[in-house]
Amino acid sequence: MHYQRLASERELLDGLAQPHAAILCGGTDAMIKIRAGLLNPSLVLDVSRIESLRGIRRNGDAVEIGAATSETEILRSPLVRDTLPLLGQVLVQLGSVQIRNRGTLGGNIVNASPAADSAIPLLLFDTEIQIVDRSEERWMPLESFFIGPGKTALESGQFIRTLRIPIPREGGGSSFHKVGKRNALTIAIASLGSLIWTTEGTISEARLAVGSVAPTPARLRSVESALRGRMLDDALVADARQLITSSISPISDVRASAEYRKNVIGDLLVRALEAL
Amino acid sequence: MKIACTINGKRVEMDIDPRLRLLDMLRETLHLTGTKEGCGEGECGACTVLMDGAAVNSCLVPAPQADGTEILTIEGLAEDGTLHPIQQAYVDTGGVQCGFCTPGFIMATYALLLESPDPTEEEILSGLEGNLCRCTGYSKIVEAVHLAAERMRKVA
Ligand SMILES: Cc1cc2nc3c(=O)[nH]c(=O)nc-3n(C[C@H](O)[C@H](O)[C@H](O)COP(=O)(O)OP(=O)(O)OC[C@H]3O[C@@H](n4cnc5c(N)ncnc54)[C@H](O)[C@@H]3O)c2cc1C
Ligand code: FES
Ligand code: FES
């Protein structure tokens, strides 16, 4: 196995043209896979020091975060704290201090675990990611990027440079809850994030995203549109619970049963609505 | 591949197998065996060291990533045979039993106190959330962190 510490995107594109090359950033997912033999690259391309993949900046109505920026750096950013508080609220619950010091958003989304925590707020914010290869650079909604467990729309020869996160308009109430076995280092059994705006007691816009209850982290568009325009009262809360549990079909696994997951998601939505 | 870094204040240049983890490089190449391997998967924190001032799981860091960085391990804390105040505090409060988790806890504590010299209970718990101990039940460890913080503030 060869290992390259890259300084530029040009070196990265050259490396990606080689057979059996794999990108590594913080390594918190990739190192485990390499050691378990699940990933067997002949060339490891370390992108953690490529400047153009790093940093946090405001660009118009959006915040752009380089794919190789560590979760700790994001948590420390005053810009993120002021404009995207939900992102910080989620990232402090990701892994541990040690994991967050190395782990990145690029790694979290390309790893594409159904339980990827950062995906929940990123989906709620309608995040777009910038995919780069030799011939072009393009923006893709994160929602279309996830294809299945561990599967994304990223093709060979491509990498992610930046995430563009539109700052949501003021006044929305947001929440994120994950349920797992212990607090730190918890891989979610089920998680729900919400971003909901109300005017005079009526829901004007609702965004919902769930983790660990579908093959990928996902928005629940049908529930969102069913909530829009409804009065926020007890009847709505009961309906919403019913709607969301029937709109997801989680699997049973070693960590929890499908029925338990549905109940948890229902409870989390009730909690989010009651907190508005 | 050739790498150069600073380990416990000493400049080190080495030709390493790029498949090594930072943990292997420390323990096997440099014989710094104070850093322990528990799970090898980022879950237990026994392998915690500081890389450029930040706590990392050395079992998840490819050794080539140490190039150009400053690494601090448990061996780098004591000076002239005198324990570092954090080490002494763990001894004094009984925060050490079998001791396997201790180097990792002490390095995580070191990183925590760099950032918050007077941490709240909550900050201590989140600063040490990546470290597991099967012996002490944690309360003596939290006590050790408070004590170390207090002693270090007096010196500073
Ligand atoms: C103990 C432990 C606890 C964890 N807890 C959580 C948790 O609570 N929640 C959670 O969501 N995750 C958790 N994780 C998973 C992991 O830490 C995160 O997914 C992290 O964000 C991955 O980032 P990384 O930079 O370390 O990725 P890496 O391991 O470096 O890379 C992961 C994948 O992404 C690809 N990749 C990375 N950067 C790019 C890029 N710029 N372009 C294209 N491809 C790229 C790599 O090729 C690789 O396939 C945990 C992991 C461990 C070991
Ligand atoms: S050995 Fe590295 S975290 Fe357990
Ligand atoms: S003292 Fe034994 S594991 Fe912590």
* Helix B85-93 vs helix B139-155: crossing angle, to nearest 10: 140
pLDDT-above-90 percentage for chain B: 97
User: Is pLDDT above 70 for B38?
Assistant: yes
How much is the pLDDT for A253?
83
How much is the pLDDT for B62?
98
Cross-sheet strand order for the sheet of A137-141: A56-59, A62-66, A159-166, A128-132, A137-141
Architecture of the B2-76 domain? Roll (3.10)
Q: Which of the four pLDDT bands, split at 50, 70 and 90, describes residue B155?
A: confident
Identify the residues whose C-beta falls under 6 Å from ligand 1: A 22-30, 32, 47, 53, 67-68, 94-95, 99, 102-104, 106-108, 110-111, 116-117, 154, 159-160, 185-186; B 41-43
Q: What is the ipTM of this complex?
A: 0.97
Would an 8 Å CB–CB cutoff place A17 in contact with chain B?
Answer: no
Hey, where are the domains in chain A?
2-166, 173-275
The CA A25 to ligand 1 mean position distance, Å, reads 8
Architecture of the B85-155 domain? Orthogonal Bundle (1.10)
Stretches in chain A below the pLDDT threshold 70: 181-187
Residue of B21, B45, B60 lying closest to A28 (CB–CB)? B60
What is the C-alpha separation between A261 and A210, in angstroms, rounded? 11
User: Is pLDDT above 80 for B11?
Assistant: yes
How much is the pLDDT for B71?
98
- Does this model's pTM top 0.90? My answer is yes
pLDDT tens-digit readout, B94-152: 999 999 999 999 999 999 999 999 999 999 999 999 999 999 999 999 999 999 999 99
Determine the CATH number of domain A173-275. Answer: 3.30.390.50
The CA-atom distances, in angstroms, between A198 and each of A21, A169, A201, A252, A267 are: 49, 12, 6, 35, 20
How much is the pLDDT for A186?
58
How much is the pLDDT for B61?
98
Hey, where are the domains in chain B?
2-76, 85-155
Give the contacts of A200 (CB within 8 A, at least 6 positions apart): none
Determine the CATH number of domain A2-166. Answer: 3.30.465.10
Q: Is residue A36 exposed (0-12), middle (13-18) or buried (19+ Cβ within 10 Å)?
A: exposed
pLDDT tens-digit readout, B13-26: 999 999 999 999 99
Mean pLDDT of B27-43: 97
> Which residues of A are less than 8 Å from B43 in CB distance?
185
Arithmetic mean of pLDDT over chain B: 97
How much is the pLDDT for A256?
84
